[in-house]
């Protein structure tokens, strides 16, 4: 019996080493960081999605837009071309979740202010109240950096369609008004192809930290 083990000692050592190498390789393969998901309308809470696109399973992108920012400048999709950006919906007179959301957006702004790849975009859901002057006043109060973060107003119908048909982010208020929106705490992470790559609770610090990590993860996609 001892002779048997002696004869196969080196075989056992080599076999063990090879096994460890194989296990190590498989471990690294299985732990490769997965890319962020690409959200399609059929994967999102139906209360946030216009009924006409709830069936869509692929090719969803943020639609073209033309809105006006806090400086009276027309902002379109071209201002975000080849950019990663975080979008949300808010209004300046909101006294509930908006102040927390805006403070957290300021936190994100401060983290990405020197990053030319990343921008922010906030849409008002009360454009009848949030004029350019009102947005400018709000921007100054919150310390908005103009070349990093656009607060936009414009046609309510366009904003509603963007919210429900592009960003999949707000609820319909169910009232007779054709463009009644109930905004949510959602922050959306948009990639350079205008695809939604993440939804985050804009009132939750842990979610904001996750969003910042996901921005870095998304940037790596473009480095590979």
What does the block give as tokens for 192?
Answer: 């350079």
* Beta-bridge partner residues of 186: 201
Q: Is 183 annotated as a binding residue?
A: yes
To the question of whether residue 94 is assigned a binding role by annotation, the answer is: yes
Residue 24: both structure tokens together: 């190590």
Could you tell me the two tokens for 190?
């948009």
Nearest by Cα to 118 from 76, 75, 89, 147 = 147
The first and second tokens of residue 5, run together, are 């083990």
CA-closest candidate to residue 197, choices 165, 172, 219, 224: 219
Distance CA 138, CA 159 (A): 19
Instruction: State how far the Cα of 107 lies from the Cα of 185, in Å rounded to an integer.
Output: 16
DSSP, collapsed to helix, strand or coil, labels residue 108 as helix
User: Is there a binding annotation on residue 55?
Assistant: no
Among candidates 116, 107, 67, 115, which has minimal Cα distance to 187?
107
- The binding site comprises 94, 98, 183
- The binding site for Cu cation comprises 94, 98, 183
């Amino acid at each position: 019996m001892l002779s048997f083990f002696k004869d196969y000692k080196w075989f056992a050592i080599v076999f063990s080493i090879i096994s460890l190498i194989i296990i190590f390789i498989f471990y690294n393969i299985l732990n490769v960081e997965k890319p962020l998901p690409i959200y399609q309308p059929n994967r999102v809470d139906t209360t946030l999605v216009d009924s006409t696109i709830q069936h869509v399973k692929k090719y969803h992108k943020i639609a073209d837009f033309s809105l006006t920012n806090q400086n009276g400048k027309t902002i379109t999709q071209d201002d975000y071309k080849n950019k990663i950006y975080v979008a949300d919906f808010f209004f300046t007179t909101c006294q509930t979740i908006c102040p927390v959301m805006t403070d957290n957006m300021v936190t994100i702004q401060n983290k990405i202010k020197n990053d030319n790849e990343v921008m922010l975009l906030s849409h008002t859901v009360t454009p009848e109240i949030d004029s350019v002057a009102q947005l400018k006043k709000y921007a100054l109060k919150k310390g908005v950096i103009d070349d990093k973060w656009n607060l936009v107003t414009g046609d309510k119908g366009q904003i509603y369609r963007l919210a429900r048909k592009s960003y999949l982010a707000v609820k319909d208020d169910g009232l007779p008004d054709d463009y009644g929106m109930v905004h949510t705490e959602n922050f959306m992470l948009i990639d350079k192809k205008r695809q939604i790559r993440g939804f985050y609770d804009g009132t939750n610090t842990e979610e904001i930290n996750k969003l910042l990590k996901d921005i870095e993860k998304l940037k790596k996609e473009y480095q590979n």
